[in-house]
A and B are shown apart, each in its own frame.
Chain A
């Protein structure tokens, strides 16, 4: 059964095909550099608004255009990535508690996971034998 991370919505198998556990870590968030209401800053791409101004490479020029006015050959420039708030990191950390016991736990629970059925099984059955 695959798992879906509720922080980044990524889907993964907890045990790989080779039998080794897989430790999911959320990817960072991509942000565009925009000018909104006269201020320049980072906005996650999921929160871009049509009226936000972004800088794009248009032919040989760099121009500032509204998101709603982007042309097919424009290339937005200046994107950055930031750490995901409440991201999940299943990698382990080991520490020794006050009773000198070694404790192993995952680094960050994030928003947890849910079990999901993949859109299509990784290994499809052969319906008509050769």
Chain B
């Protein structure tokens, strides 16, 4: 019990309350990072007033959908927070798509002074984040959201390049894309490379001459070895456990690419985490 709790208890008669004491200047602050549209976070709990009254409460917050932080402050008045939980509704985010943190703060407007963090972790439409009980979790720990993404269909003569969006961290899983070469002479050689926005730090190239006027589909992933599977499909083994923070890219490099060559839209798999900060 803090000094504030002792003073309040002395004035109002309740000597020791259950849970976390709030003075009049203290509030609950919910900060959320979210990637999915239509998510609503519902925060429910119970509060014991200094006169001993038990007060249930429900608060709602609509987080941003672009992985940037959004904050809501809920003043509670004087008393003890006994328990709370947060759940997502309105949509069904996967683990890895909606991350929430509940702080006790001094003040009722942002920016406020954070006194303590009492709950932090991913929430879904079925998995609650609870105080007390839930572990204070980092947004980069555990499992992320497995996503299958259709990337940009590049213009003719342009390579595939996909960039990790702001607020996300990806673990690369796989990529599939087809290259149609023009009739212009010269063999092409294809590779998939990973860079930090400029400098390449890993990659996988195909030891296969992709001739003119030929359509070939490339499958990149941790397949153990690189081989041409059929007359139109190649499996390309990529380095394992490639972790890519925001701004990092993966992109094809097609040696001798012609201005008439055409990569199709890539479909790729990643495990996504939110960079809650």
Contacts and interface: CB of A to CB of B under 8 A. Distances in A.
Interface of A: 5, 8-13, 15-30, 45-46, 48, 56, 70-77, 79, 81, 89, 91-94, 104, 122
Interface in B136-175: 147-163, 165-167
A46 B259 contact: yes
B215 interface: no
A71 B163 contact: no
A79 B68 contact: no
B152 A10 contact: yes
Nearest to A94: B68
17 contacts: A8-B158, A9-B155, A10-B153, A18-B149, A19-B36, A23-B165, A25-B162, A26-B161, A27-B152, A28-B161, A30-B157, A30-B254, A45-B259, A56-B186, A76-B256, A91-B165, A92-B165
A18 B153 CA distance: 18
B67 to A, nearest CB: 8
A93 B187 contact: no
B166 A92 contact: yes
Given A19-B36, A20-B35, A22-B149, A75 B166 contact: no
A20 B38 CA distance: 11
Interface stretch (B3-11, B51-59, B245-253): B245-253
A72 B152 CA distance: 30
Contact of A13 (B36, B150, B154): B150
Given A73-B187, A75-B256, A17 B159 contact: no
B150 A27 contact: no
A101 to B, nearest CB: 11
B255 A23 contact: no
Nearest to A72: B185
A1 B160 CA distance: 21
Given A16-B150, A56-B186, A46 B255 contact: no
Contacts of B158: 8-10, 27, 29-30
> Which of A29, A72, A122 has the most chain B CB within a 10 Å cutoff?
A72
Interface of B: 35-37, 65-68, 91, 97, 147-163, 165-167, 184-189, 209, 211-212, 246-247, 249, 251, 253-259, 265
Contacts of A12: 150-153, 265
Would you call the interface of chain B mostly helix, strand, loop, or mixed? loop
Contact of A91 (B152, B154, B163): B163
B19 to A, nearest CB: 32
A89 B162 CA distance: 11
> Which of B160, B166, B256 has the most chain A CB within a 10 Å cutoff?
B256
Contact of A74 (B149, B160, B162, B187): B187
Contact of A18 (B147, B157, B249, B259): B147
B173 to A, nearest CB: 14
Nearest to B151: A12
A16 B257 CA distance: 28
Given A75-B256, A94-B68, A19 B91 contact: yes
A79 B166 contact: no
A5 B159 CA distance: 14
Given A23-B166, A45-B258, A46-B259, A76 B150 contact: no
A17 B148 contact: yes
B187 to A, nearest CB: 5
B163 A92 contact: no
Given A13-B150, A75-B189, A91 B36 contact: no
